[in-house]
Amino acid sequence: MNGSLGAAELLPDVHPAWLPPTAFRALGARRVRVVGDGPIADTVRAEALAATTAHGGALVTEDPELDLVLTGPDDDPEAFAITRDAAGTTTVTASGPGLLYGFHHLVRAGESAFQETGEHHPAYPVRMLDHWDNVDVHPVMGQVERGYSGGSLLYADGAVRPDLTRVAAYARLLGSIGVNRVALNNVNVHRTEARLLTDLLPEVVRLAEVFRPHGIRAHLSVTFASPILLGGLTTADPLDPEVRSWWARTTAAVYAAIPDFGGYVVKADSEGQPGPFSYGRDHADGANALAEALEPFGGTVFWRAFVYDHHQDWRDRTTDRARAAHDHFTPLDGEFADNVVLQVKNGPIDFQPREPVSPVIAAMPTTRLAVEFQVTQEYTGQQRHVCYLGPQWSEVLRFPFGDREVHTLAAGVTAVSNVGDDPFWTGHPLAQANLYAFGRLAWDPTADPDELLREWIALTFPDPAAHAPLHELMSGSWRAYEDYTAPLGVGFMVRPGDHYGPDVDGYEYTRWGTYHFADRDGVGVDRTRATGTGFTGQYPQPWREVYEDPGTCPDELLLFFHHVPYGHVLHSGKTVVQHVYDTHFAGVEAVERMVTTWESLRGKVSDDVHERVTERLVEQLRCAVEWRDQVNTYFLRKSGVPDAHGRTIH
């Protein structure tokens, strides 16, 4: 798939997500010229042809109203400029994928785009989606680890799919929102998937070809034990010359097959994955060995900071999982090679509905960092619940660390993808909004997530009568989810293993380091320096003081940082236990309103989408009621404090 990319290939028979034909109305009604050669120009030309054919415009070679011009190489191939001349012609110029980004910028802006001028460039060079897809179906984790959208989009029957039409349509969606890198396999690298690096490489070549015309570079998750597993060596010691030469040879072969290959993603010494600790080496030694192999080709190692003791003894109150990434990695600041990016989860634990921002992000000034989000809704309703996460990610990216915001400290953003072979891509059709918002925030982390939601709705749903109700349904959905699940930042309380639905004590006596410490007097984790694990000390000023003191700690994070009595009064004026009751009732009521609002949209959205979302809302309501009742009953039994409003608690 290259120079011959045609309109039919762009528009196969799949759910159009945010690119239905109606989204191209303004652009497609114009006379459009595309100037330039190569895969990106071809993609833009095919888009312009499809749009103008649908809306009465034309693809022309002279006298355009819209001129899309690929210029010669310059420093910033992802940037684009829009100018307008006296005759009213709008011109977009770019030296690379910026042309595609400029095209889609105009699509999103509709009519108003043709009045504007200016320059645009992405805030981050790294805007990446990680697929946790396995080639084979894993006996426990299935085909997509933490995937809630059917099987893998990429693989079937133990190989890359023979027909990549849907993958091409997916690449098109990603390119339209500026995503520029994908990792093609799960960070937990099993046996078959390890071989993508060697004998299965021709399969990866096929995928890379499909992503390339959309400005997207392919990456592989690799196992640190590859030299043993694939190379027959007796060690994977990163300082061993034979190991280094194996990585160099293997990497050179990858680049011979895929010249624009992006690099490796590595989960090392984490949840059972092999890593440098086995050889008495540190994570800089490990990352740098792979970086050395990638460096001659311009490749990058995405090295994950998700390293903690997953065999903790729950009786041991001195170990705090929240501390782990900072404890392991900050001493290594300055020791990573230039082509290493340290990939840090947005919070210190694990993608909970509410966590503080990871302190690692502010603590490694001479290391390139990328923040990792979870678009797949492992802990936020598994794409059975509506939970628009744009506001969560926006809060993280705009979080002020001292006088700087996270987005000025990070070199990029990555996220775990939420798509699969589901006809709606994401299982829950409304979960497409999360994918969309991720790409748009990765381009501009200062964008208002609520505006992005409006933008997504307007593109995706042609009938304007659906827009306001949908916005009302979705905009507060993260808060609603937070309200009916674990309270005040304490986290987990999910069913162990699959992480769906409530089980308040499910993790309380396990090895995973995720405890809430509820007893008859109070609840929460003491992470203070004064009396707890000292985690608050990992933050710079002012946050180390703000979080240390329950009087200044924000309510929504109180139980993440403090163990407090049930009668502790929040800034809201309510006691902790009354807050638990109130939010759990309110969360269910919010879902009930979602059901009513969605019902009112029948006939205003397509029948298949209406039916699928209706089905999911039934489950969301059932599950929210279960959460409410289990959490409220649990705290009533522990505390003995009745609900001030006398509502039913079982």
Q: Is the dihedral of CA 374, 380, 385, 389 positive or negative?
A: negative
Closest CA to 216 of 305, 100, 381: 100
Residue closer to ligand GCU, measured from CB, 515 or 581: 515
Helix (H/G/I), strand (E/B), else coil: 210: helix
Element (H, E) at 329: helix 324-329
Closest CA to 385 of 579, 133, 621: 621
Complete DSSP assignment for 41-59: HHHHHHHHHHHHHHHT-EE
Written as six digits, the tokens of 438 are: 């991720």
Residue closer to ligand GCU, measured from CB, 247 or 306: 306
Residue closer to ligand GCU, measured from CB, 267 or 628: 267
# chain residues binding ligand GCU, by CB under 6 A:
9
Helices (H) and strands (E) in the chain, counts: 21, 22
Residue closer to ligand GCU, measured from CB, 514 or 639: 514
d(CA 3, CA 39): 6
Residues 37-66 that bind ligand GCU (CB under 6 A): none
The one catalytic residue among 47, 133, 378, 556: 378
Q: Rounded to 5 degrees, what are φ and ψ at 406?
A: -55, -40
Written as six digits, the tokens of 272 are: 């059972």
Q: Give min distance, CB of 479 to ligand GCU, in A.
A: 23
**Reduced to 3 DSSP states, what percent helix, strand and coil does the chain have, rounded to the nearest 5?**
40, 15, 45
Q: Give min distance, CB of 146 to ligand GCU, in A.
A: 5
Candidate residues 144, 183, 187, 564; the one interacting with ligand GCU per rule CB under 6 A = 187
Q: Rounded to 5 degrees, what are φ and ψ at 585?
A: -70, -45
**For residue 106, what are the contacts with CB-CB under 8 A and spacing of at least 6?**
26, 27, 66, 82, 90, 92, 113, 114
Write b or e for each residue in 232-258: b if 16 or more Cβ atoms lie within 10 A of its Cβ, otherwise e.
ebeebbbebeebbebbbebbeebbeeb
Beta carbons of 474 and 335 less than 8 angstroms apart: no
Residues 95-154 that bind ligand GCU (CB under 6 A): 145-146
DSSP 593: H
Written as six digits, the tokens of 56 are: 């009465």
The one catalytic residue among 47, 78, 269, 350: 350
d(CA 11, CA 169): 7
Is 193 an active-site residue? no
| 193 lines the binding site for ligand GCU (CB under 6 A) | no
Q: Give min distance, CB of 92 to ligand GCU, in A.
A: 38
Closest CA to 5 of 39, 32, 34, 28: 39
Is 378 an active-site residue? yes
Residue closer to ligand GCU, measured from CB, 172 or 321: 321
Q: Which residues pair with 35 in a beta bridge?
A: 69
d(CA 202, CA 208): 10
Residue closer to ligand GCU, measured from CB, 136 or 450: 136
Candidate residues 306, 535, 539, 561; the one interacting with ligand GCU per rule CB under 6 A = 306
Residue closer to ligand GCU, measured from CB, 79 or 371: 371
Beta carbons of 518 and 577 less than 8 angstroms apart: no
Helix (H/G/I), strand (E/B), else coil: 588: helix
| 267 lines the binding site for ligand GCU (CB under 6 A) | yes
Complete DSSP assignment for 227-239: HHHTT--S---TT
Residue closer to ligand GCU, measured from CB, 378 or 526: 378
Q: Give min distance, CB of 599 to ligand GCU, in A.
A: 34
At 283, the amino acid letter reads H
Q: Give min distance, CB of 306 to ligand GCU, in A.
A: 5
Candidate residues 152, 176, 188, 380; the one interacting with ligand GCU per rule CB under 6 A = 188
Residues 491-510 that bind ligand GCU (CB under 6 A): none
Residues 556-595 that bind ligand GCU (CB under 6 A): none
Beta carbons of 594 and 475 less than 8 angstroms apart: no
| 350 lines the binding site for ligand GCU (CB under 6 A) | yes
Q: Give min distance, CB of 578 to ligand GCU, in A.
A: 32
Q: Give min distance, CB of 628 to ligand GCU, in A.
A: 24
The one catalytic residue among 116, 271, 463, 545: 271
Q: Give min distance, CB of 374 to ligand GCU, in A.
A: 8
CA angle 353, 361, 535 (to 5 degrees): 70
d(CA 556, CA 542): 18
Q: What track of x and - describes contact with ligand GCU for positions 271 through 290 (by CB under 6 A)? A: x-------------------
**For residue 230, what are the contacts with CB-CB under 8 A and spacing of at least 6?**
194, 195, 197, 198, 250
Q: Give min distance, CB of 17 to ligand GCU, in A.
A: 25
| Distance in Å from the first CA to the final CA of the chain | 60
Q: What track of x and - describes contact with ligand GCU for positions 374 through 403 (by CB under 6 A)? A: ----x-------------------------
Q: Give min distance, CB of 305 to ligand GCU, in A.
A: 10
Residue closer to ligand GCU, measured from CB, 355 or 378: 378
Residue closer to ligand GCU, measured from CB, 267 or 440: 267
d(CA 226, CA 221): 11
Q: Give min distance, CB of 351 to ligand GCU, in A.
A: 7
Residue closer to ligand GCU, measured from CB, 176 or 188: 188
At 420, the amino acid letter reads G
The residues of the shown chain that bind ligand GCU, judged by CB under 6 A, are 145-146, 187-188, 267, 271, 306, 350, 378
Q: Which residues are catalytic?
A: 271, 350, 378
